[in-house]
Structure 1
Amino acid sequence: MAAGSGRFPRVAVLKGGMAAEREVSLVSGHECAKALREAGYEVDEVDAGPDLPAVLSALKPDVVFNGLHGRWGEDGCVQGLLEWLRIPYTHSGVLASSLAMDKQRTKEVYRAVGLPVVDSVVATREAVEAGHVLPPPYVVKPFNEGSSIGVYIVHPGSNAPRLAAEMPAEVMVETYAPGRELTVTVLGDRALCVTDIITDGWYDYDAKYKPGGSRHQLPANVPEEITAACLDYALRAHVALGCRGLTRTDFRWDESRGLAGLILLETNTQPGMTPTSLAPEQAAHCGMTFPQLCDWMVRDASCNR
């Protein structure tokens, strides 16, 4: 990319989009654009819609900063478009993005490299509503959404859930993993640190994005064995999925079971990117300001891997 040419490249920041996480992406994209301007870049903010190929062809950016979240933006679709247009872009490539967005296939990759996960199946919504697909407690969620959108927790003694109309025809059902919510950011070939996400209940959409919804303790106050395992597992997940740039892998840890109680939930190839989001917060803890983080991501951009 153009970063080595002696000038700052022109960056198009993609934000918004057409997925359920549009509002989150608008905030992430705006904050990243602001940070890149502080770092010296010429920045165009692009609300990604059906005309995106024409918009990018007209802008002719040197690099695309992909600030999209959810379907189309982080599932390999826009990555394929950028490969076609030969525009270097941030975050993971087509295959890794597609794999990580499919939670069931992500688990299959984890299992193949010996990473710990809970049992899960993909089932039709009719089967899920007709009876318990797995013994309760279990979780029902779309296998290709993020931000805890459309998540149902089914407790022992509960009836089979009635899913909202907007839920897809097939969903993932996974054994409920009790315990603390931990997360690790990977930047390139380095796992940064472990954050303990503290909430009063389930870490749902409101807990993630509304003021006061959660507290972040970093580094997490957990045994060194758990810290080391989280860092190791997150980096191994990043590599096994074929990711590049920035990712964040989420865990549940049942401390009553020690290391055996640590399981991987998923890897997010395009985590939230406001200055107070989990990944930038970990980068800041490691001495990297938000503009420096965004600059690193632009310099890491590629369209050939």
Structure 2
Amino acid sequence: MTSPQTVAILAGGLNHERDVSIHSGRRVAGALQEAGYQVKVLDVDSNLLQRLSAIQPDVVWPLIHGSTGEDGSIQDLLELIGLPYVGSKAHGSRLAFNKPVANSILANAGIAVPESTSLPQSLFREVGATAILDLVAAKYGFPVVIKPAAGGSALGVSIVTEAKALPGAMVDSFAYSDRVLIEKHVEGHEVAVSVIETAEGKPFALPPVEIVTNGLYDYDARYNAGRSEYFVPARFEDDLLTKCMDVAITAHQQLNLRHISRSDLVVDNNGTPWFIDANSAPGMTQTSLLPQAAVRYAEDNEMAPSELYSQIVEAALVF
């Protein structure tokens, strides 16, 4: 397979995760330039279609996080243009982006998923927030996790430990989505497992990354160096590492993801990996989890991380 000469990276966009996307785009651009590609980093704005037409890239790598980038919109646009691109097609992107739908699919596939309830903001207005929150407290107890039903980077996510904090957590979550996911909290070790598909074979998992942070692994803890500590691979026995990797591969396949994904898990004290979230366009910043796993995988396989990213680009030309 002849390597494509030009890769257009889409980064930025107009959503809450713009800064993360820009940093991701720059990091991937550097890796691909190291691998010998000509790289153009483009913002998603009114000039995007004109610039893509002028550049005529061999492959597009969308690194738009959150809405637009992970809800299938950019993917549908690239299909209309007819350009090969890295990452999941629109259908898979939508499945992963919609957390309640993803949870249902993976629960049906036999994956451990926390018990949850998903409700729209309109229902709170029609029925009354107080009555609904009383039901939530009675059913799930505390702590409970409140999060937007769609979105990323832990924006709008809260761990609520008492009833009086529920209304504020709901307001924070509805700021990012018109539907909220109320989820039973699982106590344990936070782990992220990235999955890669190359043109040569089936998807495989990179070494699981264990995240240790003081408090919630929120936006600040994710992207400000020093807030969190990472262990690659996670400090588990081999059989538990394999369990985590198997869950991530199952999620990748069941949600129709492609080329690259990351599943966030919590491993409880009984050694059960619980699926929490799937990311069809994982962050690629300096503190992001997939790049850390890629570095370890590259070291273990005596290759440069840029070679792994190059294989991902090659896969976009094949399927």
Is the structural similarity TM-score above 0.5?
Answer: yes
Within 1, Cα distance between the matches of 2:128 and 2:223?
29
Deviation at 1:124, TM superposition (A): 2.9
Offset of residue 297 of structure 1: 1.7
Moved more, 286-295 or 77-86: 286-295
C-alpha separation between the residues in 2 aligned to 1:88 and 1:169? 32
Residue 83 of structure 2 is aligned to residue 87 of structure 1: yes
Identity of aligned residues (%): 35
Q: Runs (4+) of structure 1 moved beyond 6 Å? A: none
Q: Distance in 1 between matches of 2:156 and 2:245?
A: 28
Alignment of 1:1-305 (within 5 A): 4-5=1-2, 8-125=4-121, 126=124, 129-130=129-130, 131-132=133-134, 133=136, 134-135=139-140, 136-162=142-168, 163-164=171-172, 166-188=175-197, 189-255=203-269, 258-259=270-271, 261-287=272-298, 288-302=303-317
* Aligned Cα root-mean-square deviation (Å): 1.9
Q: State the AA in 1 paired with 2:308.
A: L
| Equivalent-residue separation in structure 1 for 2:158 and 2:212 (angstroms) | 20
| 1:129–1:160 CA contact under 8 A, matched in 2 | no
**CA apart distance, 1:249:** 0.7
Q: Distance in 2 between matches of 1:216 and 1:174?
A: 25
User: TM-score if structure 2 supplies the norm length?
Assistant: 0.87
Query: 1:159 Cα shift?
Result: 4.3
Q: Number of residues paired by the alignment?
A: 297
CA contact (8 A) 2:4 2:58 kept: no
Alpha-carbon distance in 2 for matches of 1:233, 1:28 = 25
CA shift at 1:224, angstroms?
2.9
Q: How far off is 1:170 after superposition?
A: 1.8
- Residues 61-116 of structure 1 deviation map (CA, whole Å, 9 limit, x = unaligned): 11101121111012110001111111011111111111101111100110121111
Q: Is the 8 A contact 1:283 1:289 kept in 2?
A: no
- Give the Cα separation in 2 of the matches to 1:199 and 1:289: 29
More helix by share: 2
Q: Distance in 2 between matches of 1:44 and 1:153?
A: 40
CA contact (8 A) 2:149 2:177 kept: no
User: Which residues of structure 2 form unaligned runs of 5+?
Assistant: 198-202
Match of 1:215, SS? strand
Q: Deviations over 1:28-86 (max 9, x none)?
A: 10111122112111111101124423332232111101121111012110001111111
Q: Secondary structure at the match of 1:160?
A: helix
Deviation of the 1:275 alpha carbon: 4.9
1:132-178 Cα deviation digits (max 9, x unpaired): 42423211111110000011221145443221372433211111111
Secondary structure at the counterpart of residue 65 of structure 1: strand
Decide whether aligned partners of structure 1 residues 262 and 35 sit closer, same or farther in structure 2, where only a CA change above 3 A counts.
closer
The one-letter amino acid of 2:157's match is V
Contact 1:91 1:270 in 2 (8 A): yes
Measured in 1, the distance between the counterparts of 2:177 and 2:87 equals: 27
Residues of 2 paired with 1:151 and 1:47: CA distance? 27
Q: Tell me the SS of whatever aligns to 2:262.
A: strand
Maintained 8 Å contact 1:79/1:93: yes
Given that 1:154 and 1:161 are in contact with CA atoms closer than 8 Å, whether structure 2 keeps it comes out as no
Q: CA deviation at 1:292?
A: 1.6
> Matches of 1:192 and 1:59 in 2, distance apart?
33
Q: In structure 1, what residue type is equivalent to 2:289?
A: L
